[in-house]
Each structure stands twice: as structure tokens, then as C-alpha cells.
């Protein structure tokens, strides 16, 4: 007796005495009633949410400066190569895992129970990042509101800032005049007439003392975050009320948008994922019309080919590629798990990864065309105005925008764009943790709003320490220790657990079953999954550990040892679930010899299988044990002897019509 099965809608029916048995009723009757996980309303909500997750603040302030600092187009070439060898394969892997299983980062490890700690680690990393990421979003709100003034506050020096060398426009630091050295160059007057009046000495009087410091830089560090001199407890102080209110507003926006999960956030991303591109294109056109824009572009794209031989360039490109795509944070798996099983995720993964690269390049042109025009106006070199990290978003670019009439408009648009860029990423970070909890405890799904509000309130209270005068140092600790090499460790473990333990052949067969055909070119995916991704990520992790250097308070002093110890404690907190869960499974959930225990805890459980309805039922039935419990074994279900006696028999698929 046989029945043909057509992919992807198999029907693992059982028959009793020649009649079909409806297994779905039997199963549903035994299950406790829970709220469904939900699905994306349409494909665009999924794609825009993924783009919003991958395209974040780092694309605007980190990628352009890294490209400039590491050889322009040489860095871009390294970035593209690594994205093809590691980025795209890892992104595709995580989307497939989520969509195939219909489970979040913790529940999907039914495919390899020993690795469940990976999902827990991803949830912990996501919540750590969510805490400090929203602080940066609070900065953008602060600047957006500050832009609604007649005079932009970062364009005027306060009296108390003059002692720090405050200048209202970026000025090239001049050395004091020396007749033996400064014959043709501009130099700083010494107030010694003999030297200043020396023939051919170009003496320039300055209004500042010490080295010149742009007012935009002083505004950020002295007014906005009021940065303390150190991170000792006596330096922490109380939360700054303006930043605390901006942080509260940011968390309220996040919670309101997530209150109903993807049903609500999926609607918001239509605006938050597309609006930044509108502003980026407007700023690009405006920047391209500035006199001197071409000089800025040259700094961004002209390659320094010798840099391709520099290992640090590849490490910087790998770090940017890895964290820009948000691989191994759990968000990609989480978003994929809400897809329909038949969604053509192959093209989605390639599109989203490509959009991340395109956005980074567009942002680079936006930043450096503006910097080129700014350098031309001020009479300095582009490198004198270019800064990285915070300096790019809150010091250099605000000063550049102040030169574009009307400056208030451009500033409001820019900082609102930054806020919307961060909002999408924040959605995914918080939703990842909540999804993990709901997958482990399905009954909590009906309390989605309570979880959102509870997590939001807790994260806000924790984040208040990040808006104190020492908050900048705390944010750096959370970023450096909670979401840097710890993510690389998680990613390396993820590759090993899937490709080397579960098996590359099994995984490819699962992908083939879900997509209807193997991913092509098959040699490329197999090579990247089996070798490139795990090996390169592991090497990158080892390099980062070997070359570890403590964060710096300033150019001369590293963080105090107690602060570094706190950082390592955070690292242990997010990484320890992986070995601890492995040992727990090995010691308490398996029997026999060491080898037998290892086989047991690395064998997929009965809960692992495709999220396509009828096939899922075959895997979940208590009275049926499928051969190996893998998707490609199903629905050729093997019954026990007792089941056969009771009149049940399997319907075995026609192998000719179901090849993998």
C-alpha cells in the first residue's frame, strides 16, 4: 500500500484497517491550550524587519570611518570578501534554522540538545545590548530636541569652556612659531616679538589656550553626558535628568511598538526601515553639491592596496561585517521563526545581506561628501574633521550640519533618522529575549504585554547607570565585554553545533526539503558552512583574545582593574550557559558510558522537525518513533511492534517522487 507525497505538503497519515486516521485531532486533544506564536502578515514586514535589524547606527558612524582609516576601497574589498565567506552563509543559516523549525533561539536546539546554551547565551547578549543601545538612542533624542532652538547649542562656546581651548569651528592645531622650522608654514604666535616678527614666519594669533577643541565636542562631553574623569564609584554620580527623560521616552516608544509582538512592530517597520533611506538620499544629494565634496569622497574610496596585506584591516572588516549583520545575536533566528514554512528564504537572505552593504556604502558617501565640504570651508584637511564612533555622530557631523542652511532642519532630520535606525535594532533585541522565554514557557504568550512592560521597566532602571556622569564608561564596558568577543565565541559554537555535530549533510537535506531544492551553488554553501565560517570565526575569536587590550579612560590610562573585572564577569555571564548546559545535559540527562552520553545529548529529540503542519504531527506523536527523528526521515515513520498489532501501519513515501 503506498501513497505519493508531493513537496512541501506531505501528509504523514496513518491508516487503521484500511481507513485514514486523522492524527491532528488526537494530538490537539492531548495538548494544553496555548496562544499561537503568530506569523508575519506578509513577506514585506519580514524583510523590512530584518533590514531594520541589520542596518543600524553602526552603518552610519562606524563603517565610513573604518573604511577611511583602513585604506578606503581596500577595506571595502576585504569587507565584501568576508561577507561572502562568512556573513551571507551565517545569515542564511540563521534564517533557515528559524523558519524551518518555527522556534526561537533556545527551542530550536532540539536539533542538538547539548548546544541549548547557545540560545540562552544569545538571549542574554541581546538583553545586554538592548540596555546600552537604547542609551545611545536617548542621545539622538536629546540632540533632536536640542536642534529645535534658534541657535544650535553646539555652535557657541560657553565661557567656562574657553579654558579647554574651545573654538566654534574645527581648527587645525598650530605649532608655536620657530624660525628654524616654520619658514613657510602657518604657526601659532608665541607673543615673543623677536620670533613672531621674524622674516618669512607666518604668525597666527589664536583665541584659545592649549590645543583647539571644537565646541561640538565640548558640548557632547561637557553638556550632554557630562563625562566624569574616571569610573570609580565616587565619579558615578546621579542620573542626568535630561538624559533620563530621553531614555524613558525611548523605552516607551519601544514597548508601545512591541506590545503585540510582530503584529505591532511589523507595522511600524514600514516607516522606521524606509525613512532612514529617504533622509540618507536627501543628505547625499545635499552633500554632493558642496564645494570640496569630491575631496571627501577621495578619502573614503581611494584604495591603499598595501593595506590588504595588513591583518588588522581584515580583523576590522570582519568585526564590522559580523556585528553589522547582527549574526549570532538571536534576532535573525527569531524573525525567521515567524515565517511561513514555504517562504523562499534563500533570496531573502541574499537581499538583506546585500542591503546592509549598500546602506553602509551610501552612508559613507553621505558622511564624507559633507566632511569634504566642511574641510573646504574651514581650510583644513578631511582627516582633521573625520572622527569615529560617538565622535562621528555627535561631534563631527553635527558641526558639519551647522554649516547647511537651515541647520535646524538638517539636524532634526539627521538625529531622527539615527533614532529610527536604532529603533528597528532595539525591537529585535528585546523581542529575541521575550520570544525565547515564550518558547520555553508557551503559556506566557498570552501575557505578551506584561512581559514587554516588565522587561522595559527593568532595562530602564538598569540603564539609568548609563546616563550618569560615568555612564559613557559603563556603556563601553557593556559593549566591549558583553557583545564583542563573546558574540564571536557564540558564533563559533553555533557553527560547530550545526555543521560539525548535527551534520552538514543533514542540514542541507533540511534546507532542500523546505525550499524544494538544494541551495545553489551547492559547493559554495558547503565550503562556507563546513570550513570557512567556523574556522574564520574561531580564528577571529582567538586573535581578539590574544590581542586583548583594556578599554582606555584616556590615551594614557586604561580602565581600573575593578572595572575590567566587572567586564569579565559580564562576559562570563553571557558565555557560561554554553558549557554549563552542555555539562548539565551530559551528567544529568544521559546514561551509559561517556561516548553513549555524548551520542544521546547530541542526537535530535522528538521535538525537532519541520514547521509545516502535517509532518510536524508525525514527529510529535507519542506512540510513533521516527527513524533518526530528522526531517528527511519523515514521514517514513517506523512503528513499534505494539502499534502494528493494534492495526496501525505506515504509509511509506514513493522514493522516486521524493528525492533529496
Which residue ranges make up the annotated binding site? Answer: 52, 55, 59, 324, 421, 424-425
* Contact criterion met (CB below 8 Å) for 118 and 432: no
Residues 6+ apart with CB under 8 A from 546: none
Q: Packing angle between helix 561-575 and helix 116-146, nearest 10 degrees?
A: 130
257 touches 423 (CB < 8 A) = yes
Known binding residues for Na(+): 52, 55, 59, 324, 421, 424-425
Residue found under cell 502578515: 41
Please name the helix (run of DSSP H) or strand (run of DSSP E) that holds residue 49, with its range, or none: helix 43-54
Residue 6, classed as helix, strand or coil, is coil
In 3D space, the residue among 133, 99, 106, 134 whose CA is nearest the CA of residue 122 turns out to be: 106
Give the closest residue to 48 by CA, choosing from 367, 329, 262, 360.
Answer: 262
DSSP string, 457-492: HHHHHHHGGGGSTTHHHHHHHHHHHHTTHHHHHHHH
- Three-class secondary structure of residue 34 per DSSP: coil
* 336 burial level (CB within 10 Å; 0-12, 13-18, 19+): buried
Report how far residue 260's alpha carbon sits from residue 168's, in angstroms, rounded to the nearest whole number.
47
* Phi, psi (degrees; rounded to nearest 5) at 20: -75, 135
Tell me the β-bridge partners of 454: none
> For residues 138-164, b (16+ Cβ closer than 10 Å) or e, as one string?
bbbbbbbebbeeeebbbbebeeebeeb
Amino acid at each position: 500500500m503506498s501513497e505519493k507525497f508531493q513537496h512541501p505538503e506531505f501528509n504523514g497519515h496513518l491508516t487503521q484497517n484500511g481507513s485514514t486516521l486523522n492524527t491532528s485531532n488526537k494530538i490537539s486533544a492531548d495538548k494544553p491550550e496555548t496562544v499561537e506564536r503568530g506569523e508575519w502578515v506578509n513577506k514585506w514586514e519580514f524583510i523590512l524587519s530584518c533590514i531594520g535589524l541589520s542596518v543600524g547606527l553602526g552603518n552610519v558612524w562606524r563603517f565610513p570611518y573604518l573604511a577611511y582609516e583602513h585604506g578606503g576601497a581596500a577595506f571595502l574589498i576585504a569587507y565584501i570578501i568576508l561577507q561572502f565567506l562568512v556573513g551571507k552563509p551565517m545569515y542564511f543559516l540563521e534564517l533557515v534554522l528559524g523558519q524551518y523549525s518555527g522556534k526561537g533561539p533556545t527551542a530550536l536546539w532540539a536539533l542538538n540538545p547539548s548546544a541549548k546554551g547557545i540560545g540562552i547565551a544569545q538571549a542574554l547578549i541581546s538583553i545586554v545590548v538592548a540596555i546600552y543601545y537604547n542609551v545611545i538612542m536617548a542621545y539622538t533624542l536629546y540632540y533632536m530636541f536640542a536642534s529645535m532652538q534658534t541657535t544650535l547649542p553646539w555652535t557657541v562656546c560657553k565661557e567656562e569652556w574657553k579654558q579647554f581651548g574651545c573654538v566654534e569651528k574645527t581648527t587645525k592645531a598650530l605649532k608655536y612659531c620657530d624660525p628654524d622650522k616654520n619658514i613657510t608654514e602657518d604657526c601659532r604666535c608665541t607673543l615673543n616679538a623677536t620670533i613672531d616678527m621674524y622674516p618669512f614666519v607666518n604668525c597666527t594669533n589664536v583665541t584659545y589656550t592649549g590645543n583647539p577643541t571644537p565646541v561640538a565636542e565640548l558640548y557632547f562631553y561637557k553638556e550632554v553626558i557630562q563625562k566624569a574623569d574616571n569610573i570609580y564609584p565616587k565619579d558615578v554620580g546621579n542620573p542626568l535628568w535630561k538624559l533620563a527623560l530621553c531614555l524613558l521616552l525611548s523605552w516607551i516608544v519601544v514597548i508601545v511598538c512591541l506590545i503585540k509582538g510582530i503584529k505591532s512592530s511589523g507595522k511600524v517597520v514600514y516607516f522606521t526601515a524606509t525613512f532612514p533611506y529617504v533622509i540618507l538620499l536627501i543628505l547625499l544629494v545635499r552633500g554632493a553639491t558642496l564645494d570640496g565634496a569630491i575631496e571627501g569622497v577621495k578619502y573614503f574610496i581611494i584604495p591603499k592596496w598595501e593595506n590588504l596585506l595588513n591583518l588588522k584591516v581584515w580583523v576590522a572588516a570582519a568585526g564590522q561585517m559580523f556585528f553589522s549583520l547582527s549574526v549570532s545575536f538571536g534576532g535573525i533566528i527569531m524573525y525567521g521563526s515567524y515565517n511561513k514554512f514555504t517562504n523562499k528564504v534563500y533570496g531573502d537572505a541574499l537581499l538583506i545581506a546585500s542591503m546592509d552593504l549598500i546602506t553602509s556604502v551610501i552612508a559613507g558617501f553621505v558622511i564624507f561628501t559633507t566632511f569634504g565640504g566642511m574641510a573646504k570651508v574651514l581650510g583644513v584637511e578631511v582627516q582633521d574633521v573625520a572622527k569615529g564612533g560617538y565622535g562621528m555622530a555627535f561631534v563631527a557631523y553635527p558641526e558639519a550640519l551647522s554649516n547647511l542652511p537651515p541647520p535646524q532642519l538638517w539636524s532634526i532630520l539627521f538625529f531622527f533618522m539615527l533614532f529610527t535606525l536604532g529603533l528597528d535594532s532595539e525591537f529585535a533585541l528585546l523581542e529575541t529575549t521575550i520570544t525565547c522565554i515564550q518558547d520555553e514557557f508557551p503559556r506566557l504568550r498570552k501575557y505578551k504585554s506584561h512581559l514587554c512592560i516588565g522587561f522595559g521597566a527593568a532595562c530602564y532602571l538598569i540603564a539609568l547607570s548609563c546616563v550618569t556622569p560615568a555612564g559613557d564608561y559603563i556603556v563601553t564596558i557593556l559593549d566591549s565585554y558583553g557583545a564583542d568577543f563573546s558574540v564571536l565565541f557564540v558564533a563559533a559554537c553555533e557553527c560547530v553545533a550545526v555543521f560539525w555535530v548535527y551534520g552538514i549533510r543533514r542540514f542541507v537535506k533540511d534546507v532542500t526539503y523546505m525550499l524544494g531544492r538544494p541551495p545553489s551553488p551547492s559547493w559554495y554553501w558547503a565550503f562556507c558552512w563546513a570550513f570557512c565560517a567556523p574556522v574564520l570565526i574561531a580564528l577571529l575569536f582567538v586573535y581578539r583574545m590574544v590581542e586583548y587590550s583594556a578599554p582606555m579612560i584616556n590615551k594614557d590610562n586604561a580602565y581600573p582593574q575593578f572595572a575590567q573585572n566587572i567586564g569579565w564577569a559580564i562576559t562570563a555571564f553571557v558565555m557560561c550557559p554554553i558549557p554549563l548546559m552542555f555539562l548539565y545535559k551530559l551528567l544529568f540527562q544521559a546514561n551509559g558510558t561517556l561516548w553513549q552520553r555524548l551520542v544521546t545529548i547530541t542526537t535530535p529529540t522528538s521535538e525537532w522537525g519541520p514547521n509545516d503542519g502535517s509532518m510536524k504531527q508525525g514527529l510529535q506523536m507519542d506512540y510513533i518513533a521516527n527513524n533518526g527523528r530528522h526531517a528527511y526521515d519523515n514521514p517514513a515513520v517506523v512503528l513499534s511492534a505494539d502499534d502494528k498489532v493494534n492495526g496501525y501501519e505506515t504509509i511509506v513515501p514513493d522514493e522516486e517522487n521524493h528525492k533529496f
